[in-house]
Amino acid sequence: MKKTNEDWDFLTGVLHEDFQMVKDKFVRSVDFSYREFEINDTHKAVVFYLDGLINLDRIDLNILTPLISSSDSIWQSPIGLQDIEKKILSASVASGESLQEIMDHVLSGGTALLVDGLAQALLISEKSWEKRSVEEPTTEVVIYGPREGFTEDIRTNVSLVRRRLKTAQLKMESIKLGELSQTEIIITYLEGIADDSILKEVRSRLDQISIDAIEDSGYIIELIEDNPYSVFPQVLQTERPDRLVGNLLEGRIGIMVDNTPFALIVPITFFQLMNSTEDYYEHFILASTIRCLRYFFIFVALLFPSIYVAVTSFHQELLPTNLLFSVASARESVPFPVFIAALLMEISFEALREAGLRLPRAIGGTISIVGALVIGQAAVQAGIVGAPLVIVVSITGIASFMFPSYSLTGAIRLLRFPMMFLAAFLGMYGILLGVFLILSHLVRLQSFGVPYLSPLAPFNFSDLKDVFVRVPWWSMKKRPSDTGKKNPIRMGRWLRPQPQKRKK
């Protein structure tokens, strides 16, 4: 979308002409407000803003009162922009000469002041609007750790990060995206730690975006990821300031978007999606055990229904005799093939889960649990499915809730269905084929040039300290080699606790 020549018109210094251009832009805008007044009864002026985006009390106290009540002799001589600026009590005051500068400022929640005889406008920042307070994140709940989460206000989010990194190395670069929305995007990183080539690539991909509006960080993800056709997330979304800061300290780059509580982190690897923020707050032995449990259950969430279909349809000899008789007796009265029954149960479970998310929070969880129990029990009693299949689907559903990243959960849920199709037609060979195709895709996948399966492929033994297990903090002396090569050392040596022995 191109701006017209009128947008770049400069002010003339004639108040009624300049203000008429502004009013023409805001015609049929009920929230456009202005106040005409005189400075010391000698110079006509007008202050204008968008109601709901500013603080009226501060405009009255910091702008109108000092200018109207002042009786200094400077108002008798040809008035100057600096003379007015000295009287205004607001902290942020700038000047603008073009209509476009004024429009951008007012539309962003600022206040503009025009004075007769001056071909420049004063752009004053008295922004104030309703916003949600800082609350506990709802998508990344932890037992131990901070309870603060990002909000929809980008200035609040910036302050949450600044409080945790009190260093001038923390950089915040602001850009505007969206021709109509003019959404503020902030690129944040640690200078001297973040890789320059990755930072350059992030800027380049953001600069290439040309779109009417950016309403959420999800818009940004689809426009900057390496492989848009992959179901696996290549950009990490987080609602937690501490998680963003932890990744900045490893040399990664954060992208904060106004009007959304989710910040983006790039580049990422598959193993980052399996790590919870709480892993770094608990004892390393407990954290490592839980992390290993997650890796086990990712195979359960992806393959358990497929293995059940393959074994009961093609490979009954793999089951112990007693278990085989039990499964066979449960399926004796079931009219559908095992694949159709499994497919129906999985689709029903996904529908219940989605319905629970869309229903009001007070009843959503109850409906999901009760619905699953009632439907499962009724299906077994009606002879539509067997009891073992209900158990398989239930365990699979529980396993899919164990992953810290909701985006990864969605990818696993989606891949579960083609894996079931392969198992139904090719048995265990189909499952092996599907796993091979998924691994081949993951090996080729990259996130801003960083291999998705790093440090496993390509293999880097020193970086395995924070993959399947989490070694003690005093052993993680270096940052990940993919993102922290510019400044690899992050802590001193000999930090392992060694209490001194008491002298007898």
**In the chain, domain spans:** 5-124, 154-268, 284-451
Q: What is the pLDDT of residue 369?
A: 64
Q: What is the pLDDT of residue 363?
A: 65
DSSP helix/strand/coil, 482: coil
Other beta carbons within 10 Å of 359? 14
Q: What is the pLDDT of residue 442?
A: 95
Q: State the DSSP code for 254.
A: E
DSSP helix/strand/coil, 263: strand
Q: What is the pLDDT of residue 132?
A: 83
Phi first, then psi: give them for residue 101, nearest 5 degrees. Answer: -60, -40
CA 491 to CA 354: how far, in whole Å?
A: 45
CA 334 to CA 344: how far, in whole Å?
A: 13
Q: What is the pLDDT of residue 1?
A: 41
Compute, in degrees rounded to 10, the torsion defined by CA atoms 228, 231, 236, 239: 120
CA 476 to CA 473: how far, in whole Å?
A: 5
**For residue 215, what are its two tokens?**
């309403």
CA 396 to CA 114: how far, in whole Å?
A: 65
Q: What is the pLDDT of residue 445?
A: 95
Q: What is the 3-state secondary structure (H, E, C) of 72-135?
A: CHHHCCCCCHHHHHHHCCCCCEEEECEHHHHHHHHHCCCEEEEECCCCCEEEECCECCCCCCCC
Cβ neighbours of residue 191 closer than 8 Å, sequence gap 6 or more: 169, 170, 171
**For residue 437, what are its two tokens?**
């195709």
Closest among 160, 187, 348, 342 to 266, alpha carbons compared: 187
Q: Which residues of 404-431 are buried (b: 16+ CB within 10 A; e: fewer)?
A: bbebbbebbbebbeebbebbbeebbebb
Phi first, then psi: give them for residue 461, nearest 5 degrees. Answer: -60, -40
Ranges of the chain with pLDDT below 70:
1-8, 70-78, 361-373, 501-504
CA 419 to CA 435: how far, in whole Å?
A: 8
Residue type, 151: T
Q: What is the pLDDT of residue 5?
A: 43
Closest among 82, 78, 257, 115 to 176, alpha carbons compared: 257
SS3 helix, strand, coil % of the chain, rounded to 5?
A: 45, 15, 40
Q: What is the pLDDT of residue 370?
A: 66
CA 201 to CA 254: how far, in whole Å?
A: 13
Compute, in degrees rounded to 10, the torsion defined by CA atoms 429, 431, 433, 436: -140
Q: Looking at beta carbons, which pairs linking 342-348 to residues 24 or more positions away fall under 8 Å?
A: 342/305, 342/308, 342/309, 342/389, 342/392, 342/393, 342/420, 343/417, 343/420, 344/384, 344/385, 345/376, 345/379, 345/385, 345/389, 345/390, 345/393, 346/305, 346/393, 346/396, 346/416, 346/417, 346/420, 348/375
